[in-house]
Amino acid sequence: MTETKSVRVLIEGRVQGVWFRGWTVERATACALSGWVRNRSDGSVEALFSGQPETVQAMIEACRIGPPAARVSRLSVEPADAPAGPGFHQRPTV
């Protein structure tokens, strides 16, 4: 059985209004990750990534830069429970 890693990532900076969520969905789906991404009312973006450890780590590193118009000032990562189902989705703002 393949080992999986799940993390919650909080991305701060100029990350809303720059297509960060759409970019994240495209990248995570292409990498076969499960989880979700959403905007937060404080202006940050939150994501849950679950999959093979090296793929999750690569996604975290990609989020440090984000799409071209984004400017990431801070990124924090913490362990998380795996998402309930497969696939990667965009969720409503909280």
User: Which of 38, 39, 74, 91 is the catalytic position?
Assistant: 39
8 is an active site residue: no
CA-CA distances (angstroms) from residue 80 to 8, 18, 39, 83?
6, 26, 18, 9
Centre a 10 Å sphere on the Cβ of residue 68 and count the other Cβ atoms it contains. Answer: 8
**Distance from CA of residue 55 to its chain's centroid?**
12
Asked about 40 being catalytic, the answer comes back as no
Question: Out of 14, 21, 38, 40, which one is annotated catalytic?
Answer: 21
Could you give the residue numbers annotated as active site?
Answer: 21, 39
